[in-house]
């Protein structure tokens, strides 16, 4: 970027650029307190709103976090690397590991909210699962928390005709999770399709994920299919974009 281009950018963005560079260079380490609004006002000769906007940029990017009554600090949270291919390998969940364990390494990913029930499929869910409208589906809704921070909302839909009376209808599906239980039932998923989108969160999503104002969410809709091409699960996930890196590693 030329000096002329830089001069056209709002002051708060230029301040955020300098602070970001300082964070990335290590001048501010994880856990360090960043200059506060008063400091930025003095250093850059700007109004309080401009200083506040600069810090908000870093918070929205997931680089900084506000601590009530203490200031804004460089974020210590390590983003999750969501390994899109290894996590769905049959050799992973088929040996009793959860799909999510491929992402967290030695960290603890906790389900702190879970609801399991049955409902009539919406038009979207029915189409994805190849069901007639209003067909009964098993619904598994969960919130995942990592290092004390909510990072993911996940809602799975499965045909009730497949899951009735199985552990899939209970909070704890057992080793290997839902895919292992589908395999036990003779409906092993062997193919997956994921669709990824981004948008700003709803008020409910912001609250449940404790999102900083202005932080978008990543939406991943995954459909699981059997060898015969029958869809057996639709999993709709809402991710805190500042908490995830999406990684796909495959050969040409």
Distances (CA, A) of 35 to 54, 85, 191: 11, 41, 50
4-18, 111-125, 212-226: least confidently modelled range: 4-18
What's the pTM?
0.76
The pLDDT assigned to 85 comes to 66
* Mean pLDDT, the chain, whole residue set: 88
Q: Average pLDDT, stretch 93-106?
A: 65
| Contact (CB, 8 A) for 158 and 177 | no
Delineate the domains of the chain, giving CATH numbers in brackets: 3-74 (1.10.10.10), 80-247 (3.40.1410.10)
Residue among 244, 111, 232, 222 at smallest CA distance from 182: 232
**pLDDT tens per residue, range 137-195:** 999 999 999 888 899 999 999 999 999 999 999 999 998 899 999 999 999 999 999 99
**pLDDT tens per residue, range 102-119:** 666 677 788 999 999 999
Q: Average pLDDT, stretch 48-66?
A: 89
Give bridge partners of residue 218 from the DSSP assignment: 198, 239
Cβ count near 74 (within 10 Å):
19
Q: Is 34 helix (H, G, I), strand (E, B) or coil?
A: coil
pLDDT band at 2 (very low <50, low <70, confident <90, very high): very low
Q: Average pLDDT, stretch 4-16?
A: 80
What percentage of the chain carries pLDDT values higher than 70? 88
Is the model more confident about 145 or about 62? Answer: 145
């Amino acid at each position: 970027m030329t000096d002329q281009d830089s001069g056209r950018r709002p002051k708060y963005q230029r301040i955020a650029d300098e602070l970001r560079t300082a964070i990335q260079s290590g001048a501010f380490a994880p856990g360090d307190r960043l200059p506060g609004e008063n400091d930025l006002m003095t250093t850059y000769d700007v109004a309080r709103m401009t200083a506040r906007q600069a810090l908000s940029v870093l918070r929205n990017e997931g680089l900084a976090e506000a601590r009530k009554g203490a200031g804004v600090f460089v974020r210590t949270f390590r983003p999750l690397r969501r390994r899109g291919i290894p996590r769905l390998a049959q050799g992973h969940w088929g040996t009793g590991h959860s799909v999510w364990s491929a992402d967290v390494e030695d960290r603890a990913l906790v389900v702190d909210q879970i609801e399991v029930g049955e409902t009539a499929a919406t038009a979207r869910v029915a189409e994805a699962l190849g069901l007639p409208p209003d067909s009964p589906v098993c619904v598994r809704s969960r919130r995942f928390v990592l290092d004390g921070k909510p990072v993911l909302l996940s809602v799975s839909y499965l045909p009730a005709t497949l899951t009735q009376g199985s552990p899939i209808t209970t909070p704890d599906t057992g080793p290997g999770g839902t895919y292992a239980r589908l395999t036990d039932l003779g409906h092993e998923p062997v193919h997956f399709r994921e669709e990824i989108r981004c948008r700003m969160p709803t008020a409910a999503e912001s609250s449940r994920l404790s999102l900083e104002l202005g932080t978008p969410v990543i939406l991943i809709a995954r459909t699981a299919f059997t060898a015969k091409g029958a869809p057996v699960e639709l999993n709709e996930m809402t991710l805190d974009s500042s908490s995830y890196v999406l990684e796909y590693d495959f050969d040409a």
